[in-house]
Chains A and B, each alone.
Chain A
Amino acid sequence: MTPKTAPLPALCRDCMTCFEGAARCPSCGSPRIVAHAELFELGIAHMDCDAFFASVEKRDNPALAGKPVIIGGGRRGVVSTACYVARIRGVRSAMPMFQALKLCPDAVVIAPRMQAYAEASRAIRQMMEDMTPAIEPLSLDEAFLDLRGTQRLHGAPPAVMLARLVRRMKVELGLTGSIGLSHNKFLAKIASDLDKPHGYSVIGKAETATFLHDKPVRMIWGVGAAGQASLEAAGIRSFADLLRWDRRELHARFGTMGERLWHLARGQDTRGVSAHAPMKSISNETTFSEDTGDAALLDGHLWRLSEKVSARAKAKALAGRVVTVKLKRSDHSALSRRLSLRDATQLADVIYRTAKGLFDQVGPNEGPYRLIGVGLSDLIDESGADLSADLLDPDAERRAKTERATDAIRKKFGPEAIVKGRGLRGASGHGPKDGS
């Protein structure tokens, strides 16, 4: 730790005044200050909105103020976001809805309005664009920012720019976010979570090692339950445990992840903040409100999911060579099948036919299912897609043309302008949860 004697560089989060070592802002008297020895030297940040979906809902509907609000879909769905009032009662995201409602029966449950969130996200993105081109969005409500080298441009160090960002978000959009500032992405992401909501945390180079020492490895973004279990099997719970491992041994046991862990244990992370991190896969899935083994209904879902995946690929001018079908049974055990196509595709028709073929291999006998998903991966630019036709399916070309024509009509008259009958099967009733 930095010796307490030296006055620390500090910043007032309300009036942006920079000063040295005081408990309150000498200019406006606010106690909301952030002080750290390396405050004005660090430049990699992670911004995470606070209960984003719920905050947007509360902003748009003042009647919700002070009430527990849960965003999520369907009786069988899961909690997508819970506001802080609901969180106090123990509601967490990804919790099954019935459990959330048991903890918090008076919660206001709202089906997600993705369009509203996307709009708010775009506005925040625009604010970040004003600060740096090096932005890496992780989802609608969080992003990494690399602000190194922008001090002269803005006439203020990154720490100040970040404080301005959250203030702008609050004033212009009525949304709050938490900032993590550090010297790499790994630590910035951890920092943003330390002081939520409306937080501002700094992890400097000097205290990186002591900070991490007794922290659990599950803090690492990307180490989930399975990763945790395999680390635990090797006796690794904390970063201190990890430090005891030899680099080679870690690599031998965990492969490239082991290599990464070795570096992370030392607070090292050299990944750049990139706005153009290539998309690796596109997938959509649906959780049913009731488990189903109904072939026609599942077929309808396969088509709609294929269309969604295809639409996203087309929007991004991408095509993929690998089609994946994912199924989850009633007992949550998962099943997935994949097939490499000879030719990359972005056509819903090809994705659907491939997915259907994969589903038919396992599907009918292993159900009922609670979830079905379709994915497209091994992505390339669309110019390399659908280059050759299928000898045995001379009709495919006509269907491809129909699909392109349908796309053109939808572009002009909206997504509902023209729909395949297949897509209507089992489409009504429950609000499916889509994720990517």
Chain B
Amino acid sequence: MKLSIERASLLKAVSQAQSVVERRNTIPILANVLIEAEGNTVNFRATDLDIEVVDKADAMVERAGATTVSAVMLHEIVRKLPDGSMVTLTDDAAAGRLTVEAGRSNFNLATLPKEDFPVMASSEYSSNFSCNAAVLRRLFDKSKFAISTEETRYYLNGVYMHVSDADGGKVLRCVATDGHRLARIDADLPEGAADMPGVIVPRKTVGELRKLLDDDEMKIAVSVSETKVRFATPDITLTSKVIDGTFPDYTRVIPQGNTRKLEVDAKDFANAVDRVATVSSERSRAVKLSLDEDRLVLSVNAPDSGAAEEELAVAYGDERLEIGFNAKYLLEIASQVDRENAVFLFNSAGDPTLMREGNDTSAVYVVMPMRV
């Protein structure tokens, strides 16, 4: 194999590949990226056995072929090469070496045979549809903060992407929860997605997917089966196993009968929470909300470190209410609000609270209170 490629396209392709590669690895070949050159394109393929990413780039291929080389090392080299340089990759299969040349720099990297590289088995996807990057970005960005990291509840270690019924008909829905807070984000159902099986997209995949979604207008081809999900742009194909488990019935968690309504400017609210939480104890981070006629007092009382209080003018017309929350959770959900006021719907100090943006029910958040 011998090919020449612009440093910029090489860097883009290799950086996506190396981020999939697990840093701590017991199987040597999994630290490598598979480079396949043919025609006038080169593919860079990396996998951690759960996720596979393939990056396609234009290149001048002098001699077709394939080899594998350390993804992290190749990435580091290309990153350090001067911008605008032309990089030549030459594989010497007999010597087990890949030469990387650019200007006066010359590197000789150890390779492993391409036959050893595990290529993810292709599977039949029962559902294929196309979706704007901006739509997917909203679905995942607004839900991923609630993904659980608790390994014993592995079925919560991802975002549950599925088709659901909402007021206006069927929607494409993403839900994530860790048992303390929950995010439920809806988008218009893309054409052809109606029969999509519900899948739990793992946390790492959500992170990798995000890199495909920066361009608003980009059309993402989504393919879903019971066991796998694939997101593809013309250049990048991200294939991932989905979490083999049942996502809990989240619908019964979302309170329906909460009537005590608080409306507040999300930014002011978040800033105030952040300020008073400064004195909260590291462990509990509890903030108390005291609600009275159009008045909200946020307070923290940490016996060991101090106390803080801040008052906000809000819209609230119900009975007095005192309720406590983890400051971090409040900040996280408040920061999801970007256009209108945050609307909180409470029931009692012990029941889950619902938050949404204005009257928009396409993004709702549930947070569990804590004793204060």
B residues in contact with A384, CB < 8 Å? 281, 283-284
* Contact (A389, B368) CB under 8 Å given A342-B180, A384-B283: yes
Q: Is the CB of B352 within 8 A of A361?
A: no
B residues in contact with A391, CB < 8 Å? 177, 179-182, 253, 352, 366, 368
Residue in A closest to B352 when the chains form the complex, CB atoms: A391
Contact with B along A385-405 (1 / 0, CB 8 A): 011111111100100000000
Q: Is the CB of B253 within 8 A of A387?
A: no
Q: Is the CB of A390 within 8 A of B370?
A: no
Q: Is the CB of A387 within 8 A of B152?
A: no
B residues in contact with A339, CB < 8 Å? 150-152
Q: Is the CB of A388 within 8 A of B370?
A: yes
B residues in contact with A390, CB < 8 Å? 179-180, 368
Residue in A closest to B326 when the chains form the complex, CB atoms: A388
> Which residues of chain B from 253 to 275 have any CB-CB distance to chain A below 8 Å in the complex?
253
Q: Is A29 an interface residue (CB 8 A)?
A: no
Nearest Cβ in chain B — how far from A395, in angstroms? 12
Q: Is the CB of A393 within 8 A of B179?
A: yes
Q: Is B23 an interface residue (CB 8 A)?
A: no
Q: Is the CB of A388 within 8 A of B283?
A: no
Q: Is the CB of A361 within 8 A of B370?
A: no
* Contact (A357, B284) CB under 8 Å given A388-B368, A391-B366, A392-B253: no
Contact with A along B121-158 (1 / 0, CB 8 A): 00000000000000000000000000000111100100
Q: Is the CB of A388 within 8 A of B152?
A: no
Q: Is A354 an interface residue (CB 8 A)?
A: yes
A384 vs B371: C-alpha distance when bound (angstroms): 9
Q: Categorize the interface residue count of chain A.
A: 20 to 34
A200 vs B316: C-alpha distance when bound (angstroms): 75
A100 vs B350: C-alpha distance when bound (angstroms): 57
Q: Is A127 an interface residue (CB 8 A)?
A: no
Q: Is B202 an interface residue (CB 8 A)?
A: no
Q: Is A358 an interface residue (CB 8 A)?
A: yes
Q: Is the CB of A354 within 8 A of B152?
A: yes
Q: Is A344 an interface residue (CB 8 A)?
A: yes
Name B370's contact: one of A354, A387, A392, A394 (CB within 8 Å): A387
Q: Is A71 an interface residue (CB 8 A)?
A: no
A388 vs B328: C-alpha distance when bound (angstroms): 14
Q: Is the CB of A387 within 8 A of B284?
A: yes
Residue in A closest to B324 when the chains form the complex, CB atoms: A387
Nearest Cβ in chain B — how far from A398, in angstroms? 12
Q: Is B21 an interface residue (CB 8 A)?
A: no
Q: Is the CB of B179 within 8 A of A392?
A: yes
A residues in contact with B250, CB < 8 Å? 392
Q: Is B39 an interface residue (CB 8 A)?
A: no
Q: Is A166 an interface residue (CB 8 A)?
A: no
Nearest Cβ in chain B — how far from A176, in angstroms? 45
A357 vs B366: C-alpha distance when bound (angstroms): 25
Q: Is B198 an interface residue (CB 8 A)?
A: no
A389 vs B370: C-alpha distance when bound (angstroms): 7
Residue in A closest to B367 when the chains form the complex, CB atoms: A391
B residues in contact with A387, CB < 8 Å? 284, 286, 324, 370-372
Q: Is the CB of A392 within 8 A of B177?
A: yes
Q: Is the CB of A357 within 8 A of B182?
A: no
A380 vs B153: C-alpha distance when bound (angstroms): 25
A344 vs B286: C-alpha distance when bound (angstroms): 14
> Which residues of chain A from 328 to 363 have any CB-CB distance to chain B below 8 Å in the complex?
339, 342-344, 354, 357-358, 360-361
Residue in A closest to B253 when the chains form the complex, CB atoms: A391
A376 vs B326: C-alpha distance when bound (angstroms): 23
A384 vs B182: C-alpha distance when bound (angstroms): 23
Q: Is the CB of A357 within 8 A of B153?
A: yes
A16 vs B369: C-alpha distance when bound (angstroms): 65
B residues in contact with A361, CB < 8 Å? 151-152
Q: Is B248 an interface residue (CB 8 A)?
A: yes
Contact with B along A358-385 (1 / 0, CB 8 A): 1011000000000000000000100010
A394 vs B351: C-alpha distance when bound (angstroms): 10
* Contact (A357, B152) CB under 8 Å given A387-B371, A391-B352: yes
What are some 12 contacts across the A-B interface (CB < 8 A)?
Answer: A321-B283, A339-B151, A342-B178, A342-B179, A360-B152, A361-B152, A387-B286, A387-B371, A390-B179, A391-B368, A392-B177, A392-B179
Q: A387-B372, A391-B366 are known contacts; what are 15 more A-B pairs with Cβ within 8 Å?
A: A339-B152, A342-B179, A343-B370, A344-B283, A358-B152, A360-B152, A361-B152, A380-B283, A387-B286, A388-B369, A390-B368, A391-B177, A391-B182, A392-B179, A394-B252
A interface residues, Cβ below 8 angstroms from B = 321, 339, 342-344, 354, 357-358, 360-361, 380, 384, 386-394, 397
* 4 nearest A-B residue pairs (beta carbon): A357-B152, A388-B370, A387-B370, A390-B179
